[in-house]
Structure 1
Amino acid sequence: MPSFTTTLQLVAIIFWDIGLALYNLVAPKYKPGCVVPLGQPGAGGVWPAYVKPKPGDSRGSCPALNALANHGILPHDGKAITFTELSRVIETTYNFAPSFCRLVPLFAADMLGKSYTKDTFDLAELDKHNGIEHDASLTRKDSYHVPDQSEPYVPYIEELLSYASGTAEDGSELLMPDDISRFAAKRRLEAPKENPNFSLEFIHKFFGSSNASTMVTIFGGRISDLEIMLLEERIPDGWESRILKRKGLTMQAFNNTVLKVERNTKKIMAAVAAHGDQVAADSEEHGKQG
């Protein structure tokens, strides 16, 4: 549980976020191509060179953070990162709201027993099991099977992306919130059968739906971008966040998607429990046909 001091800060951040959400309602949006601030890595779609991690480099289970290190936006070795630096970088790169960018690193610092303002961390430290990292991930095998969570599990990612049922205006494939729910339900049903130490508390279900929801918010569900980000942990050439709001993706806005994903995941699992494997088979087939 967060400390008392951290809890007070979290409450303040929530009110800050509400104010940012209200500002976004009236402020003009960024024009496409202008989301990343001038002078920052990625401005105009020009990202620093991608370099694969070297032996001894620190990586974790979050593709978006690994990509920042692979491009040198965070230290390439993934080590001695300040929490304040992380806040700044995820705001300028992905256009999350500053409130969101403060909340997540603050929670991570508290989870690790560190100071948000004074201490540093390595990316691998964020994979403290059942801290933020959890079982039934959509892109990783459970830590019971693979303690090192730095490597994406390609079969999961390919299956997830195969569920895409949406179509963009240009005809490209889109991953939709319901597609994520179908695969998340499948993972939550299958993982306990393979992992005798399986656990998934409410907060970790929420983390799972939150992480997955970035695919359809920040990345707009575009399969062509998600393939590169999830499989290579690389930011696509010319890419920018799909969030054009002036103050970025607030928690208020983000939670609309997160709650939809989580709610539909539970509905699918309940249907499977009531009607058996046919529901799961129908859900999987729908994703493949999407």
Structure 2
Amino acid sequence: MGILNKIAKPFINLFIFSWDFVLFILNVITPNLKPGHVVPAGHPGHNLQWPEYVPPKEGDSRSACPMLNAMANHGILPHDGKNIPFREMSAKIRTTFNFAPSFCLFVPKFAADFLDRSYWSGKFDLADLSLHSKKAIEHDASLTRQDVALVPDQSKPDLGLVHDLLKQATGTMPDGSPRLTIPDLSRALSKRRVDAERTNKEHYTEDLGHNMFGSSNSSTMLTLFGGSINDLTPMLTEEKFADNWEPRVLSRFGLTFAKFNFTVIPVERGVDKKAIQKLEASENSA
């Protein structure tokens, strides 16, 4: 990262989060978008019509993020997942998932920074985002991937982990189908962190920053997908959009950090590794 970028970074972040708060207020005082009209006209997914799903082929680049992979699998991002401008990713995440523009600037710019590239002119491959370091996004104890020390290729989901997660659902959607809740995700993260620490003894790392990223990634299942198991199953197993899916965030200016934290913080605060360890010890002694 250049010296000028390092100097400018705190000021850029201050601008982004101030902007985000303004958008949060605007969302409160303006009417929501109508269901069925979340994705703007002229963009993939408008009127619930997504481009054809094509699984990745040999040589295609994929990340540890199911949603970015799904965008490539549907051709919203380049299908090979390579040479993607950071600014293009920002724009397409905005229209595909209805994240606020502040969100769509911060996260890709954060990625550009930890890859030591320019957000304004730089490009990346999806696999680059799986960089495992303290300054990056990829973290141990993912709910859909084994730790990178155990499985270096983070491009594909671990279906065992995914199905374990989906079975955690205790809630119910309006149509009667199963739904993940905040306590479900907290419990799943608790179990996953205990298990990852046990199976990845030599290399497991955990800190507040990566734990918050883990809870943030998990919380998209509740915000964008409403916790719906019917919608999450194709996304997490095949990394594709469910038929007739659209983001469940109806806010006119998209999902802001300010609003997102109403989900992320309760999810992370509900994580209780000691309770899981105590339960396992009790079951083992029974």
User: TM class, shorter-chain normalised?
Assistant: over 0.9
Paired residues of 2:190 and 2:276 also in contact (CA < 8 A):
no
Counterparts in 2 of 1:11-22, with a 5 A limit?
Answer: 11-22=14-25
1:270 aligns with 2:251: no
How many residues were matched structurally? 278
What corresponds to 2:213 in structure 1? 207
Tell me, what secondary structure is at the counterpart of 1:198? coil
Partner residue, 1:154:
159
Asked if 1:111 is matched to 2:117, the reply is no
Cα distance in 1 between the residues matched to 2:75 and 2:64: 17
2:188 corresponds to? 183
Instruction: Say whether residues 1:245 and 2:248 are aligned partners.
Output: no
**1:194 match:** 199
Give the SS at the match of 2:39: coil
TM-score (norm 1): 0.93
Report the AA paired with residue 208 of structure 1: G
Aligned residue in 2 for 1:171: 176
Q: Distance in 2 between matches of 1:249 and 1:106?
A: 17
**Alignment map for 1:1-290 (pairs within 5 Å):** 3-130=6-133, 131-195=136-200, 196-265=202-271, 268-272=272-276, 275-277=278-280
Q: Is the 8 A contact 1:6 1:106 kept in 2?
A: no
Q: Tell me the C-alpha RMSD between the 2 structures.
A: 1.5
Counterpart residue type for residue 258 of structure 1: V
| Structure 1 residues without counterparts, runs of 5 or longer | 282-290
- Report the residue type matching 1:243 in the other structure: V
Alpha-carbon shift at residue 8 of structure 1 (Å): 1.6
Structure 1 moving runs of 4+ over 4 Å = 278-281
SS at match of 2:222: coil
Aligned partner of 1:286 in structure 2 is none
Consecutive unaligned residues of structure 2, counting only runs of 5 or more, are none
Q: Residue 272 of structure 1 contacts residue 280 of structure 1 at CA under 8 Å; is this kept in 2?
A: no
Give the fraction of aligned pairs with identical amino acids, expressed as a percent. Answer: 51
Provide the C-alpha distance between the structure 2 equivalents of 1:231 and 1:5, rounded to a whole number of angstroms: 40
Q: Are the counterparts in 2 of residues 3 and 110 from structure 1 also a CA contact under 8 Å? A: no
CA contact (8 A) 1:82 1:120 kept: yes
User: What's the counterpart of residue 287 of structure 1?
Assistant: none
Per-residue CA deviation, residues 26-80 of structure 1 (Å, 9 max, x unaligned), is: 1110110000000000100000111011111100100000000000000000000
Could you tell me how far apart the structure 2 residues matched to 1:3 and 1:217 are? 32
TM-score when scaled to structure 2? Answer: 0.94
